[in-house]
Amino acid sequence: MNTSTATAPVVKSGLTAEQFIQKYANHPTYIPPRGPELNAKNWQAEAALRMFLNNLTDEVAEAPADLVVYGGTGQAARTPEDARNIIEVLLELEEDESLMVQSGKPVGKVRTHPEAPRVLIANSNLVPHWATWEYFNDLRKRGLIMYGQMTAGSWIYIGSQGILQGTYETFAACGDRYFNGDLRHKLLVTGGLGGMGGAQPLAATIAGATFLGVDVDPDRIKKRLDTRYIDKMTHNYEEAKQWVLEAKERGEAISVGLVGDIGDVLERLIADNITPEILTDQTSAHDPINGYVPNGLSLQEAKELRQQDPAKYKVLSLKSMARHVGFMLELQRRGSRTFDYGNNLREFAQQGGEANAFNIPGFVPEYIRPLFCQGKGPFRWAALSGDPEDIRVTDEALKELFPENTHMIKWLDEAQEKVAFQGLPCRICWLGMGEREKAGLLFNQLVREGKVKAPIVIGRDHLDCGSVASPYRETEGMKDGSDAISDWPLLNLMSNTAGGATWVSFHHGGGVGIGYSQHAGMVILADGTERAERCLRRVLHNDPAMGIFRHADAGYEAAQENARKFGLEL
């Protein structure tokens, strides 16, 4: 069945499924196709196919051989065989069919219709009584489940840029609140420079701060260096200290990546009487076994101990997190503006013996919730053409569409100059209620008029205003105490499915780990068609509206005012 209303003729690549796999998905080498030619039977399936492969390309993924995209264990598919099967189904998927994916394994197709999602994804979900890392890891060893993180298993991870503006917004909000909006001559220190934490150095320097980031894995820092997210790299603490202190004195926004253990580095900063103005962390603390590396172990020793004695590994990891947070608390007492960045470090530090771990506030209630009350969040898009010029066109079109949004315009100008693309060219900027719908319709028009060379994929992080229940992160400290109610992400999932998103997902645990969150993802295609326009109008209204519904119901006056402003009251 073909009901496409594309205005341009559809050109097929002519590759068989086997030829396609050999060219684009010969494990462990994955390459997203580029250009205007279709490999699948329609652009909806093609978009899912390209973004799936984009998640796994070595420019983007942490470990393509293991299908790990980011976060230590966050996968796009469960096994190489499952990845191949997903690709084969997407190549043949009709516009009245939808593929179902259960924790990275394609399990069936259902009869739907052209405005239904082409892919329905559920990752890492467990009945609450059994939602523990121990039970999950047993299932994973038996090949029954995978960890989808947030955007890894929903095929919309776009490299470090994906969290870049959200990180910038957080650092800028900290500057506004505590430093009169000026982070020059301010030192920001953090741990973790992986797939999510790797956005921190560039976000900090765009915000004007001097940055010191620490990671035990030199390859992670090297990747940020190669993609221009970080300016300098060293294995030497004294050298790093000299660089950042001199830059801070000059008011120079540079970023330094130091190979080392974050706990050890914080201990040395304390001994040297150096108190950073801002302190946070994005180590892989959501997973005490497969993410965090205990103090005193090399990467190889950690890898071996994980396999030989995971129970011992977890004990060491929790003790190290407690030590790590203990140093953060000491720097907080000395004056550092210290906050948790949503990796569940506080909870596991508390389990490891640091009773005061939650004296460190979370970043959402501290800085981001006012944006959520406006329906604002991480709106991202990818140019399926593979041509960076298409992103430049969308950037300029958005600046013309929202001339009064000077904050967004400044961000896009900075991003054009400083952000290196990973995989398919992509962009992110935080947009709110009303803005997302207008932006999506604009992109659809650009495709229809041929101003970009291929369709545009629009998505977002699961960390959004109305898509997640995470009591130690996005929904921490809700005004009405509704932190742990996960009806909201389920309603988000259902509204985006009913509205006609191109693919949808529902995950458990992303960001903070098994047992601690549930969240929904959404991706929608702008392919220039009337069908796409109808879906964009619904989805890009419903999705941010969920954030306003959620926060208005919790009693936030700003959200209630926005509900009235946008006609969202019952």
* Residues catalogued as catalytic: 429
d(CA 238, CA 245): 11
Q: Report CA Rg, the chain.
A: 22
The answer on whether 50 is annotated among ligand-binding residues is: no
d(CA 100, CA 120): 5
The answer on whether 408 is annotated among ligand-binding residues is: no
The answer on whether 71 is annotated among ligand-binding residues is: yes
- Give the up-direction half-sphere exposure of residue 224: CA atoms within 13 A in the CB hemisphere: 33
**E-strand stretches of 14-136:** 25-26, 29-30, 37-38, 68-70, 74-75, 97-102, 105-111, 119-123
The answer on whether 555 is annotated among ligand-binding residues is: no
The answer on whether 293 is annotated among ligand-binding residues is: yes
d(CA 107, CA 506): 16
Q: Can you give the three-state secondary structure of 239-254, one letter per residue?
A: HHHHHHHHHHHHCCCC
The answer on whether 215 is annotated among ligand-binding residues is: yes
The answer on whether 459 is annotated among ligand-binding residues is: no
d(CA 408, CA 392): 14
DSSP H/E element including 338: strand 337-338
The answer on whether 72 is annotated among ligand-binding residues is: yes
Neighbouring residues of 498: CB distance < 8 A, sequence distance ≥ 6: 538, 542
The answer on whether 472 is annotated among ligand-binding residues is: no
DSSP class per residue in 146-163 = ---TTTTTTT---STHHH
In whole angstroms, how far apart are CA 318 and each of 352, 403, 441, 474, 537? Answer: 4, 49, 48, 23, 47
The answer on whether 302 is annotated among ligand-binding residues is: no
Identify residue 304 by its one-letter amino acid code: E
The answer on whether 135 is annotated among ligand-binding residues is: no
279: helix, strand or coil: strand
Neighbouring residues of 347: CB distance < 8 A, sequence distance ≥ 6: 357, 472, 512, 516
The answer on whether 515 is annotated among ligand-binding residues is: no
DSSP H/E element including 222: helix 218-226
The answer on whether 196 is annotated among ligand-binding residues is: yes
Are 202 and 190 in contact by the 8 Å Cβ rule? The answer is no
The answer on whether 432 is annotated among ligand-binding residues is: no
The answer on whether 283 is annotated among ligand-binding residues is: yes
Q: Which residues are annotated as a binding site for NAD(+)?
A: 71-72, 149, 195-197, 215, 220, 282-286, 292-293, 341, 511
Q: Which residues are annotated as a binding site?
A: 71-72, 149, 195-197, 215, 220, 282-286, 292-293, 341, 511
